[in-house]
Amino acid sequence: MALHQKDKIRDNLLDDIYASQDLSVSMPKYKFPEQEQNPRHVYQIVHDELMLDGNSRQNLATFCSTWVEPEVHKLMDECIDKNMIDKDEYPQTAELEGRCVHMLADLWNSPDAKNTLGCSTTGSSEAAMLGGLAMKWRWRDKMKAAGKPTDKPNLICGPVQICWHKFAKYWDVELREVPMEDDRLILNADEVLKRCDENTIGVVPTLGVTFTCQYEPVKEIADALDALQEKTGLNIPMHIDGASGGFIAPFNEPDLAWDFRIERVKSINASGHKFGLAPLGVGWVVWRDKEDLPDDLIFWVNYLGDNIPTFALNFSRPGGQIIAQYYNFLRLGKEGYRKIHEACYSTAAYIADEIEKLGPFEIIYNGRGGIPALCWSLKKDTNPGYTLYDLADKLRSRGWQVPAYSMPANRTDLVIQRILVRHGVSKDLGDLLINDIRRCLDYFKDNPVNKALSEKDAGGYKH
């Protein structure tokens, strides 16, 4: 190698990242790159691009964990190679998953928590698919045994998260979604009863409805289904979508009967990565009893070194989240979860009260009785000169994400704004947000958005 070439290479090695040859050109965006590049340089480029993402801690729209303890970061790093499906290669990871299932069965008052079945999933969506499938299978077996047709299954629910729409479409089940009416923004027993028939595979109340964060009345619905069974013989099971509430109610409202204490509740799903406080990528589904999960849905895999049962939509998936979940259970116990959620409730109620004091807003859910969150609309019949969409936009200029959105049928006229108060949303952060909302209102007072607002656009809350 010629001496001047050596000098050139040496120069390149010493180059500042941003003065490097690599970064002197734009990175490929849509064509597969031909050449390799220096890892340090590429890391910096990818890292820098991610600056343009929102700041997750200020994203008050998400239910998911945006803050975890340093120990969780450490465990996640140590577990980057753990494949959850490979229970023979990683038997201890599998053991920890099993422990979590039984701890949850115990937390949710399964009559046989030590022996019942359940599994981890990638989130509540996959867990809901599995819970729904088990309901469909049990219903179909029952109908077949009675010599009845099995081509028209239906599922009854309130205003549900999108995963139940997916379940219904992907597995060909009619979704009987009870619409909102006037001030009733959640499911109730009367509306369930109107829709039950022998093709109903189950009823799915939500503990922490996505739109308003309220709890649906599980016990009231179960009692109504008991009465229906007494009258007609129809025995309709329940699955609880406890995506958020499943990791809140047991700690903060232990006397609320929503779980396996109610005999009709056959399965429950919850998101470990929401109020379970695990990092993104873990959900859970647990059955009341072994018998409630049809054997026929379980596959046995023999090419991982042992004969291993699996009930899941995925095959390979990361194990770190599950290990972090187990860490949380040991680290926090009921006491720790209760304290963290209690702090969130207190902050949610505080923010709700402060937002109410601002004047133009009608609080729809004030953080009391559901999950730690709040939501509001503009007061009915007012025209403050801006919509909640405008307010959401304006708050974005300070980095806050406080989504404005319309309700589903039959309240598409109602536009609300919602805040989730999660682990890491402190009262102090709440004060900073309230100050920014106040600043936005002052701005709109001087600079009303220049358009005539119909009540519909303004999201007026009709009574």
Ligand X SMILES: *Cc1c(COP(=O)(O)O)cnc(C)c1O
| Residue selected from 65, 93, 206, 417 as contacting ligand X according to rule CB under 6 A | 206
| Residue selected from 66, 108, 118, 123 as contacting ligand X according to rule CB under 6 A | 123
Q: Does 214 bind ligand X (CB under 6 A)?
A: no
CB-nearer residue toward ligand X: 123 or 460? 123
Query: CA–CA separation, 446 vs 463, rounded Å?
Result: 30
What is the nearest approach in angstroms of ligand X to the Cβ of residue 371? 9
What is the nearest approach in angstroms of ligand X to the Cβ of residue 64? 7
What is the nearest approach in angstroms of ligand X to the Cβ of residue 345? 17
What is the nearest approach in angstroms of ligand X to the Cβ of residue 206? 5
Query: CA–CA separation, 432 vs 55, rounded Å?
Result: 15
Near ligand X by CB under 6 A, which window of 122-130, 348-356, 383-391, 405-413? 122-130
- Which tokens hold the place of 137? 């299978």
What is the nearest approach in angstroms of ligand X to the Cβ of residue 63? 5
What is the nearest approach in angstroms of ligand X to the Cβ of residue 2? 59
**How does DSSP assign 142-200, residue by residue?**
HHHHTT---S--EEEESS--HHHHHHHHHTT-EEEEPPPBTTB-S--HHHHHHH--TTE
Q: The tokens 């770190």 sit on which residue?
A: 320
Near ligand X by CB under 6 A, which window of 10-18, 120-128, 173-181, 289-297? 120-128
Q: Does 161 bind ligand X (CB under 6 A)?
A: yes
Q: Does 271 bind ligand X (CB under 6 A)?
A: yes
Question: How big is the site for ligand X, counted in residues (CB under 6 A)?
Answer: 14
What is the nearest approach in angstroms of ligand X to the Cβ of residue 261? 20
- Which tokens hold the place of 145? 């045994």
Q: Which residues contact 24 (CB under 8 A, 6 or more apart)?
A: none
What is the nearest approach in angstroms of ligand X to the Cβ of residue 65? 11
Q: Name the nearest CA neighbour of 430 among 392, 377, 365, 374.
A: 374
Instruction: Note the Cα 64 to chain centre separation in Å.
Output: 6
Which neighbouring-strand residues pair with 419? 374
What is the nearest approach in angstroms of ligand X to the Cβ of residue 438? 30
Q: Give, in order, the Cα–Cα distances in Å from 47 to each of 21, 25, 52.
A: 18, 17, 10
> How is the chain split among helix, strand and coil, in percent rounded to 5?
45, 15, 40
> In this structure, what are the phi and psi dihedrals at residue 154, rounded to the nearest 5 degrees?
-135, 160
Which helix (DSSP H) or strand (DSSP E) does residue 285 occupy? strand 283-287
Neighbouring C-alpha atoms within 13 Å toward the C-beta of 425:
34
Neighbouring C-alpha atoms within 13 Å toward the C-beta of 385:
11
Q: For residues 260 and 268, is the Cβ–Cβ distance under 8 A?
A: yes
What is the nearest approach in angstroms of ligand X to the Cβ of residue 157? 10
Near ligand X by CB under 6 A, which window of 74-82, 117-125, 312-320, 448-456? 117-125
CB-nearer residue toward ligand X: 59 or 387? 59
Alpha-helical segments (H) within 160-306 = 162-170, 189-195, 218-232, 249-252
Q: Which residues contact 333 (CB under 8 A, 6 or more apart)?
A: none
| Residue selected from 83, 150, 210, 401 as contacting ligand X according to rule CB under 6 A | 210
Q: The tokens 């990242």 sit on which residue?
A: 17
Q: Are strands 361-365 and 238-241 parallel, antiparallel or unpaired?
A: unpaired
Q: Does 325 bind ligand X (CB under 6 A)?
A: no
Calculate Rg over the CA atoms of the chain. 26
The residues in 2-41 that bind ligand X, with binding defined as CB under 6 A, are none
Compose the 35-74 pattern: x for residues touching ligand X by CB under 6 A, - for all others.
----------------------------x-----------
Near ligand X by CB under 6 A, which window of 165-173, 193-201, 205-213, 391-399? 205-213
CB-nearer residue toward ligand X: 132 or 208? 208
Query: CA–CA separation, 252 vs 273, rounded Å?
Result: 18
Near ligand X by CB under 6 A, which window of 170-178, 185-193, 203-211, 420-428? 203-211
Nearest residue relative to ligand X (C-beta): 123
Compose the 279-298 pattern: x for residues touching ligand X by CB under 6 A, - for all others.
----x---------------
What is the nearest approach in angstroms of ligand X to the Cβ of residue 213? 9
Q: Does 110 bind ligand X (CB under 6 A)?
A: no
| Residue selected from 84, 96, 243, 453 as contacting ligand X according to rule CB under 6 A | 243
What is the nearest approach in angstroms of ligand X to the Cβ of residue 158? 10
Summarize as ranges the residues that interact with ligand X (CB under 6 A): 63, 123-125, 161, 163, 206, 208, 210, 241, 243-244, 271, 283
